[in-house]
Amino acid sequence: MQERERLGSQKLGLYCNFIFVALTAVGWLGIAHFYLPAPADLGLEETKVWFTETHRWGVLIGCTIFYIAAGVLTPGSLAFGVMLSKIEGRRPLWSMTTAVCGVFISLIIFFNCCAWIVAAYRPENGADVIQSWYDWAWFAFLLGWIYLAIEMIATGAVELMDDRPRPMIPRWFTWATFFGALALLGAAGPAFFKSGPFAYHGLLAFYLPVVIWGTYLVMTSWFMVKELDREAAEKSEAAALVS
């Protein structure tokens, strides 16, 4: 019974990642309208209008949901570390790296949300002030790609240690994880571009990394939940044989 409760606790941690993705889609991408954010080259006055008139309440409400989601991501990231440590064994350096990077990302999101909310908070602020907060939030968010890339590479490295006939994570997805980590490099672009695919509203700097991140979280969590189901089934069979 105690072992079953432990597996249930681990599964709950993994479900937090699904909740995070859902809240992000509804709050940040949907309500806050960041599925189509104000472009980096929109202009000072137009950016102010975007935040203080057109989407003010959407940003305030949507980013509130997003920072709540960031809190939920914390146990989800730790659950990744716990699951991977079962493969890595004693002194699970790369499993802990995965978990710590996930917690760092949670903190990054929290501070990003604070900055986006500040940009919408006082409509009387000057356009230059609002633009500065908006730029800072995007740089903090997208330039944090390095933590996500390290998390994904660490995850994949541990997954390759799983030499069982039926590994926890299928090999094809492990290699996709490595490829996705490399593709995140486009998120470094906003520091150098204000327009085009490498600007912070661009395809390679924003949309592709967000899709990679969401896919990595959802699919890795799904495979780990299935692994817990297999563990539970094996323990039930062993208990039945003993009795």
Of 10, 8, 62, 61, nearest to 35 (Cα)?
62
DSSP state of 187: G
Question: Per-residue pLDDT tens for 50-87?
Answer: 999 999 999 999 999 999 999 999 999 999 999 999 99
How many helices (H) and strands (E) the chain has is answered by: 8, 0
- Domain range annotation of the chain: 2-232
Question: Per-residue pLDDT tens for 100-120?
Answer: 999 999 999 999 999 999 999
CB 220 within 8 A of CB 155: yes
- Rounded to two decimals, the pTM is 0.93
User: CA separation (Å) from 162 to 76, 225, 229?
Assistant: 21, 16, 17
Count CA atoms within 13 Å of residue 166 on its CB side: 6
CA–CA separation, 93 and 71 (whole Å):
24
